[in-house]
Amino acid sequence: MAVCVAVIGKDNSPKYIRCSDETAALQFHYKVHTSIDIIEEKLNTGNKMAADVRELFLGLLFSTEEHKIFGYATNTKIKFIVVLQSTNASLRDNEVRMIFRKLHSAYANAVCNPFYVPGDQIQSKGFDTAVMEIMGVS
Amino acid sequence: MSELPAELTAKPLALIGVTGLDTVNNAIHRLIWDAFSNNRRPDSAAVQFKILSNAHEFPTVKPKRNSYEWYIPKGILKRNWMNKYLNDIPSVVVIFYDLDWNDSMWNEKKIECASRVQSLRAAIEGRSTKIAVVLIQHGAPPQPGAEDAATTERATALCAACELPAKSLYVLPHGDHLLGYTLRLENAFYDLAQNFYHLEARIVKNHRDHLNKTTHQYLFVRHQFKMGFLNELKQDQHMAHKHYQLAYNNLLDIRMVDTNALEIKTVASFINYKLCRLMFNLNLPRDAISQFRAHTDRFKLKVGPKELMFEHHAWMSGQFSTFAELFDEAIRQGLPAVQTQHPGYYFQLAAQHATLRQTACRDLCKDVNEYPEPDPLAGQDKLEYYGQRPWRPGKLSAEPADMAREAAAIQALQHKEKTTVNHSMIIIGLLGHAISQFKTYRCPRMRRHLVVQMADEYYNSRDYGKALTLLMHMLWDYRGERWPGLLTDILTKALRAAYLSTSLQDYLTLALEALGPTSCLPKDHQAAIYTNISNILQKNIPNPEPHLPETTAALAMEKWNIIVNKSEPFVITIDANNMATFMEVKARFTQKTYTVRSNVTIEVFIRNLYHQSMEFSKVSVTVNSPGYSSEFAVSDIQDKPVIFQEKETKKFLCQFQARQQDVGNEIQISTVSLYLGSDSNRCLIMRFSALGGENNVLDRTYPEIQQIRGSVLEFDNMRPLVSAEIEQEESSIKILADSATPGLLGEWLPININLSTSEQVASARLSIVLVPDGGNDQSTELRLSTNTKQEAGPITVDIPMIEKDQAIHKIVYIRAHSIGNRNIIMKVDYSNIEEVTYSREITYNLPMVKPFDITTQFYTTLFEPISKGFVYEPFIMMPNIICSSPSPITIIGTCIELGDSMQREDEEVQESALSGITLCNGEAGSEAYCIIPKAGSEQPASTGVYTIQWRRTNSPTDLVTSSSVTLSPLWVEETPVGLVAKLPAHGSVRTPLCVSYYLRNYSDYMITLQLTMDASDAFMFAGQKQVEVCILPQGERKIEWVLRPLVAGSVALPMLTLAMPSGAYIYYNNCLLSTQISEDDHKVSRSRLGEMLERSLPSHIYIMPQSQSV
């Protein structure tokens, strides 16, 4: 299951970031942050080729010995980043896509809250629950 | 790549031995050797030439083994093997020998050559090294095709003597084209060499049949490796790849235990290196990468003995860095790399493993303090096999050997690792490589992360200054990223580094930022930092940051002691613009413009974001204007410290007087400074830009939804206004000009000028000047009064003193002679009672239009329009005045001054019919004059000048303007004959009336005319019906008829026709005409007479009916 889930705003600052292991949170922050490099690059080249029908799922951004980092960018340039354990080889591309789809709809629900101001940190119990589910913590 | 032996990393080249060349003494030999060994081009054959001295000893051939049954290999790869094939065993030995075909000593030389071959053959006994003989010949080379029987015979004989195949004998003519010959020889040798390596590989391959899987696993690897290497020497990369791959696979089959772990990993790294390099060369980068990944994945868990954990990490780190260098090399050869796959990642992993190595070393070696005696590592460089332990070489068994010896060896290795390896430098070096790669492949954030890691490593190696420099740079970058967690992390590290390197300025800067809202430091840490700031300002030593190594912290505190206790006061200025500190500042001008000498007010808003109260000794604002800047302290505190409670916002005012120098310029609030600590002693100045920094990030990202946030705080809603303009102050004098508009041409138009003032004016001077419009400057006159003539130049009026609220009235007159707009500048220079002079000017615009248009119409006395007149024939001239002035005008009188050739019919002066008439816009008035032209001319004759005296009807003044207009000229023709009819105005039916026609001859000749009176139904008449009359020059003739009208009404008179009798002369139009000249002239004359009759004679007459009563 995922070890870290992050939502990055369109200004590339974190709107939500949650790790299963809070003691290693800083390392995950750095990892998620550095993967923005690749997301930006992918989004830029994507715009050049086909701006209209863009695949939101960006695929594997980065893999280290321990972790695999997957990315997803909405049309409003909100980015989702999920870090999976490399040892978890059973997780296929399609399942990762499903994770992102779940995350996207949870995000959409969270920002539909009329008291949420776009650009703020996400503080939503519903979103927390969805993320916990993705991380398999619940 | 430092860990790989040179023979492995060298590019394998076929070795070709050369003998018989005396390069020291023989110049020709030297030349030949240079041709072979130097000038090697990249595309020439992959061979390496080596001169073998006569004393050269070839490695001895090991006795051939017939059976491997009892042979147990002691290791995998022998240390000397690769070097042997690279440098000691030539594939071909070439014997150079000076011999011409026609040499006089042929037979002796042949024998000597043969003996040389024989002795070489003896030396390489047992090897399949090829032998070739090259004859260096000085004679001319034989012509190709011209086969010389003697040459062939001698060559065969030589071959036979040397027991060489004919193919191995070469001839090198020494002359021209040496390089060409050597190139061809080189290729021939290369072929022989390939042949040799092929055979060698085959020999190794043949050993395989004797091997068995249980005892000879090492040999499987060794043999495949040898075949791979030999194929590489043969330059067959595909075969080499195949064999290396098999060698690698065989290696994986070997069971790995602690005793052989190092050897297997060493050999694995060799084979992996060869494989990856070949695959990059064969343009199979993906295969290379996957081979490498499989390699590291497989071995990363095979740690080996736990006590030597650091060796494993060193090995892993070496694997990654070696691969990264291979990858980088391949990229330099043209391989394209992408953002997600480039050498940087491998350098990064290498650095990671180097860090692990460092950690492992720290854990394992911390207690090792002395090197064991005797040295268990002695003889490390003389081992027979790669990767074996010097204290138990060739021991294959997995059983524990001598335990004491083993322990001593491990201690020796640990001691070596601890004392001789500089881990930090390795890590920093690898990180440096990775950083430059990530920079190349556009991964700025990754790069920054690596720089932070590098700073960590500098910190670990106690180079706090460098760590601080790197972290300060990164702090700058990470501020823009807006990741609070990461920023806090770096801030904490930087604070520690700054503390330990005792950098006062940096420490204070960082401390101020640490108190700000963007860092997520715990509150007690923030409080400690705040205490440290005040400590420094009060000459106390700041407390060490948490988690500092104790020894260095103590050292740092001593240094702080020196810094803090320096006697001289210090002032530290910190630019708070680029960091998010705990104070927020905004400033604005209250107005966009200020007038000179008025008070400029700046509002400064300061908010404390820290969770405790803050105290500042001074708040000041720096204002910039072109040329200088000045600092003003805020006015509402008088040397009292300002205290901000937690989250409190305060507003300050700062006032100063706008300066005269700044008129027309912009002044700007450049900075707002907060002074922390007392001014005199030591103090910390925080400089803010008045814009409030960039803290409000959301403003930039979602400006459209900021109103949702609905903040009611004054601070958030306040928009900074950092620049204001300074203007000249409003003048106290007002000028008002007024006149009837538009002005009319020719009139003296009064313009009323009113000066009013709101303060007392000591003296003033009004000047009025017309703006020249580029046209005729004489067309407009400007005067103070209509009577006096004004000299040219501006009109000036001196006004002595104006009391407050008093108005001064002046009139200036303007007269224009052409239409168009006139601009008049009215300027007042005045000085107030303080003798300060000011000036004020306005521009008055006045359009000028024509008051009226005058047209002229001409009529006959019968009021028929005419286009030309005739001499002595009266006509009527009517000047027509059409008013085009928007305001009504009244005509006082008109008069006409006739042209020279014109004369009024009645000389008595009559009053103008138009006198007193008022004309509004569009209305017209006209009067008639009866004029008799006295002379004809070729040109249109001037009829006269019409003068109208008029004034504006509504004008309060009675200024009369007189306008003169030249009336339209008229063609006047001469005519020889004039006719005037005299008849009563009307007649009555059956009452006779007398009609007399006067014929006048204007010419100087006698004219004879024939008059004919046609009969008419309306009249009976008495008189001559047809008569021929002669008229004397300048004479007149009267002809009378008595008419008796028969009908009433407007009755046509009987037609009178005039004709020239034939044979008569007239003088007409200044030329003598004869009737005999032509019919045409006669006709002209007739038609002219007809015209004359028509305009002179009335055609009808009113006849009244007869009164019944009479």
DSSP string, B937-981: -SSPBP-EEEEEEEEETT-SS---EEEEEEPPPBEEE--SEEEEE
Taking an 8 Å cut-off on Cβ atoms, the answer to whether A41 and B349 are in contact is no
Q: Convert the pLDDT of each residue in B804-861 to its tens digit.
A: 777 888 888 888 888 888 888 888 888 777 677 777 778 888 888 888 888 888 888 7
Provide CATH code, domain B733-849.
Answer: 2.60.40.10
Q: Which among A12, A34, A119 has the least Cβ separation from residue B698?
A: A119
Looking at the partner chain, which of B445, B698, B709 has a beta carbon nearest the beta carbon of A34?
A: B445
B446/A37 Cβ within 8 A: yes
Q: Cα separation of B235 and B47, whole Å?
A: 10
Task: State the burial class of residue B65 (Cβ atoms within 10 Å of its Cβ: 0-12, 13-18, 19+).
Answer: exposed
Spatial separation of the C-alpha atoms in residues B569 and A22, rounded to whole Å: 46
Q: State mean pLDDT over B356-376.
A: 86
Residue B454, CA atoms < 13 Å, CB-side half-sphere: 26
The pLDDT of B903-930, averaged and rounded, is 81
Give the per-residue pLDDT at B557.
Answer: 87
- Does the bond joining B59 to the residue before it have cis omega, within 30 degrees of 0? no
Mean pLDDT of chain A: 85
Confidence of residue B866 (pLDDT cuts 50, 70, 90): confident
Q: In whole angstroms, what is the distance from residue B14 CA to residue B46 CA?
A: 6
Mutate to test the interface with B, among A30, A31, A58, A77 (most CBs of B within 10 A): A30
Q: Which of B296, B353, B698, B700 to mutate to test the interface with A (most CBs of A within 10 A)?
A: B698
Establish if A6 touches chain B: CB-CB under 8 angstroms: no
For residue B455, is pLDDT > 90? yes
| CB-CB under 8 Å, A62 with B340 | yes
Are A38 and B444 a contacting pair at CB < 8 A?
A: no
pLDDT mean over B225-240: 92
Q: Which residues of B touch A (CB under 8 A)?
A: 300, 339-340, 349, 442-446, 449, 452, 481-483, 485-486, 489, 697-698, 700-702, 705, 708-709
List chain B residues with CB under 8 Å of A61.
340
pLDDT tops 80 at residue B1078: no
Q: Is A22 on the interface with B (CB under 8 A)?
A: no
| Cβ-based contacts of B482 with chain A (< 8 Å) | 11-13
Contact B701 A10 (CB under 8 A): yes
> Which residues in chain B are contacts of A63 at CB distance < 8 A?
none
pLDDT tier, B571 (very low <50, low <70, confident <90, very high otherwise): confident
pLDDT digits (tens, 9 = 90+) for B475-488: 888 888 888 889 89
Domain positions in chain A:
2-135
What is the nearest CA distance from A29 to chain B, expressed in angstroms? 7
Hey, are the CB atoms on B705 and A118 less than 8 Å from each other?
Answer: yes
Q: Say what the pLDDT of residue B1083 is.
A: 45
Least confident of A31-35, A52-56, B23-27, B316-320: A52-56
Q: Kindly indicate the confidence band of residue B1076, based on its pLDDT and cuts at 50, 70 and 90.
A: very low
Question: Above 0.90 for ipTM, yes or no?
Answer: yes
B599-608 vs B583-589, strand pairing mode: antiparallel
From B340, B349, B486, residue closest to A33, measured CB to CB = B486
Residue B333: φ, ψ to 5°? -85, 0
Average pLDDT of chain B to the nearest whole number: 82
Contacts of B702 in chain A (CB under 8 A): 118-119
A–B: how many Cβ contacts below 8 A? 61
Contact state of B349 with A65 under an 8 Å Cβ cutoff: yes
B933-982 residue pLDDT tens: 887 777 788 888 888 888 888 876 777 888 888 888 888 877 777 888 88
Closest CA to B786 of B746, B821, B820: B746
Q: Within an 8 Å CB–CB cutoff, is residue A131 touching chain B?
A: no
> Is the Cβ pair B446, A11 closer than 8 Å?
no
- At residue B328, the pLDDT reads 94
Could you give the residue range(s) of every CATH 2.60.40.10 domain in chain B? 573-693+714-730, 733-849, 977-1104
Q: Is the pLDDT of residue B696 over 60?
A: no
Provide the shortest C-alpha distance from residue A53 to chain B (in Å): 23
> In this structure, which CATH number among 2.40.350, 3.40.50, 3.30.1490, 1.10.150 belongs to the domain B6-60+68-199?
3.40.50
pLDDT of residue B947: 87
d(CA B827, CA B767) in angstroms, rounded, equals 5
Closest residue to A14, CB basis, from B349, B444, B483: B483
Q: How is domain B852-973 classified at the architecture level of CATH?
A: Sandwich (2.60)
Give me the half-sphere count of Cα atoms (radius 13 Å) on the Cβ side of residue B262.
19
Q: Is A59 on the interface with B (CB under 8 A)?
A: no
Assign domain A2-135 to its CATH architecture.
2-Layer Sandwich (3.30)
Worst-scoring range by mean pLDDT, B71-80, B235-244, B672-681, B988-997?
A: B672-681
**Lowest-confidence segment of B121-130, B348-357, B457-466 by average pLDDT:** B121-130
Residues of A with Cβ-Cβ distance to B446 under 8 angstroms: 34, 37
Superfamily of domain B977-1104 in CATH is Immunoglobulins (2.60.40.10)
| DSSP-derived pairing of the beta strands B14-19 and B92-98 | parallel
pLDDT digits (tens, 9 = 90+) for B406-419: 888 888 888 888 88
Under an 8 A CB cutoff, do A119 and B444 touch? no
Q: Is the pLDDT of residue B707 over 70?
A: no
**Among all chains, which residue has been given the structure tokens 């905004």?**
B586
CB contact under 8 A, B701 and A34: no
Q: Does A25 touch chain B (CB under 8 A)?
A: yes
Lowest-confidence region among A42-51, B221-230, B539-548, B569-578 = A42-51
Q: In chain B, what is the straight-line distance between the N-terminal and C-terminal CA atoms, in Å?
A: 159
Q: Of the candidates B442, B485, B698, which has its C-beta nearest A41's C-beta?
A: B442
Question: What is the pLDDT at residue B1?
Answer: 37
- Assigned CATH for B573-693+714-730: 2.60.40.10
CB-CB contact of A64 with A86 (8 Å): yes
CB distance A41–B339 less than 8 Å? Answer: yes
Q: Is A19 near chain B, with CB under 8 Å?
A: no
Among the partner-chain residues A30, A37, A117, the one whose CB lies closest to the CB of B486 is A30
Tokens read off for B764: 């003033």
**Cα distance between residue B548 and residue A126, in whole Å:** 42
Contacts from B538-547 at CB under 8 Å and sequence distance 24+? B539/B564, B539/B565, B539/B682, B540/B564, B542/B499, B542/B507, B544/B499, B545/B492, B545/B495, B545/B496, B545/B499, B547/B496
More confident residue, B267 or B374: B267
A72-81, B23-32, B563-572: least confident range: B563-572
Residues from chain B that touch A36, judged by Cβ atoms under 8 A, are 445
Contacting residues of A for B695, CB less than 8 Å apart: none
**By the CB < 8 Å criterion, does A34 face chain B?**
yes
Q: What's the gap in Å between the CA of A113 and the closest CA on chain B?
A: 13
> What percentage of chain B carries pLDDT values higher than 90?
14
Could you tell me how far CA B863 lies from the centroid of its own chain?
82
- Would you say residue B509 has pLDDT above 70? yes
